[in-house]
Structure formats: C-alpha cells, structure tokens
Amino acid sequence: MSVRTFIISDIHLGSRQSRVADFMAFLETLPPDVRLVLNGDVMTHYASEDSLPADHAAVLDRLRAMSLDRELIWLRGNNDRHFTMKDPRKIIFAADYTVDNRLFVAHGDRFDHLMPMLRLVLIPLRLVYEFCTRVVGSKTHVASFAKRFPWVYNVLNGHVARNAVGYARKQGLSAVTCGHTHHPEASRYDGIQYFNTGCWTEHATRVLVVDDGRMTLHETSQAIRCPRTAAPLVQAESRQ
C-alpha cells in the first residue's frame, strides 16, 4: 500500500490575503501517516523569511518540525523559486514530484506561456488592481481580482491545464496536478486526469488526496475529518 499523500498549493505566506490561521489549523490536524506536498508559492514573491509577520513565521517553524516526523516536500513555484529557507531541517525542495508513478505534481508556471506574452496587454488591469489595493484599501489577492475578468482568466486556466495534460501524456502518466491559477478543478482531458488545488488566499481551501491509487479533490476540512471516506469535492469532468 502506497503512502497516503496530501497535496496543496499557493499559501502565499507574506501576503495579507494568506489564510494563515486556517493553514496552521490544517497542519495541526494532519494525520500522522500522511506525506505532505506543498506545490509551489508557499511564499509570496516579495516576502523574505525575516520580513514575515509572527503568525506567518510560525507556519515555517511548524513545517520545519513536521519534516522530522513525515515526508514533507516543497515544490517551487514562480513566487518562491528563489526563496532560501533558514535551517529547513528535513524539508525536501524540488521543482516537481511524481506520486506512485502515476501523478505528476508541478506548480504550473512552467505550463503558463500566456502571462509572459500578455504582460503589456494586462498593464491596465494591473494599474486598476494597484489602485484598488493602495487607494481604496481592497484586500483582494491579484488572482481573485483577475477572476472578475473571465475573458482572460478562463483562457489562462484552460491553457495551463492543457499544457500540463500534454506533458503528462508525453511522460506516460495518467494524471497531473498544478496550482498557479488559484482555480480548484478536477477534470479529465482526453483520458488524462487534471487537478488544480486552488489556493489559500480565498475561502474554501482545497487538498488533493492520493490514497491507495485513488485521487480525489476535497475541501481541506472535509479531508481532515474523514480522509479515507469523504466524497470528493469535485467529480472529474471530461473536457476536450
């Protein structure tokens, strides 16, 4: 029987939108026999370990301690690609990870070829976001703000998903999971399962549970309460 694995992404420590209290509660109730995979953007891009608020820094301390008792893997995303952790204990840092020779795990920015090309086009939206956060005082994360413009956001989601699925197929794998887009999803693209674990900057956080060959996306509180029996939050939807 394979090791049960919980996969989450996009905590964004250092960001005021990060739901650190909820994440700490998730860590404290994690079953002892679970491998934990942090799939990128654990830190936000402008934060350093020394600049973190106390409650955010406490999360890093908890991760260090947990790594002594369980396998804890931190995959790098576009925000924390260059982050260097002081005294990581036994945390394993990597670019990607494969579970049970079936599921490929990577943050998703490597499959995002749109955002670099659209930076100039998206400047007006970025300026509106900066105005809302700095002048109006909005606490909405930039990804949540982007969801107000589905003509851009939906294209990005589909683009990342299809590129990720294409990569998994070339590697001979049957499933792939990403973060990056902050859009929880469980779909099937032409026979390949695709999951996105959403983020911890919005309500209803998600976790992908891999248990004895079964892969299901849950709300984090539901997975903790009954990880082996809870029904999946999202049934896989077939897409072309």
Cβ atoms 162, 189 nearer than 8 A: yes
Interatomic CA distance for residues 133 and 146, integer angstroms: 13
Q: What is the pLDDT of residue 136?
A: 45
Task: Report which residue type is found at 70.
Answer: R
Q: What is the pLDDT of residue 124?
A: 57
Q: What is the pLDDT of residue 235?
A: 47
Q: What is the pLDDT of residue 1?
A: 60
pTM of the predicted protein model = 0.85
pLDDT in 10s for each residue of the chain, 240 residues: 679 999 999 999 998 889 999 999 999 999 999 999 999 999 998 899 999 999 999 999 999 999 999 999 999 999 999 999 999 999 999 999 999 999 999 999 999 988 665 555 555 555 554 555 554 445 565 555 556 556 667 888 899 999 999 999 999 999 999 999 999 999 999 899 999 999 999 887 999 999 988 999 999 877 666 555 555 544 455 565
Q: What is the pLDDT of residue 126?
A: 58
Q: What is the pLDDT of residue 232?
A: 55
Q: What superfamily does domain 4-239 belong to in CATH?
A: Metallo-dependent phosphatases (3.60.21.10)
Q: What is the pLDDT of residue 149?
A: 58
Interatomic CA distance for residues 238 and 169, integer angstroms: 16
Cβ atoms 191, 171 nearer than 8 A: no
Q: What is the pLDDT of residue 208?
A: 97
Question: Residue 55: CA atoms inside 13 Å, Cβ hemisphere, count?
Answer: 11
Interatomic CA distance for residues 232 and 195, integer angstroms: 12
Nearest to 43 by CA among 107, 96, 87, 125: 107
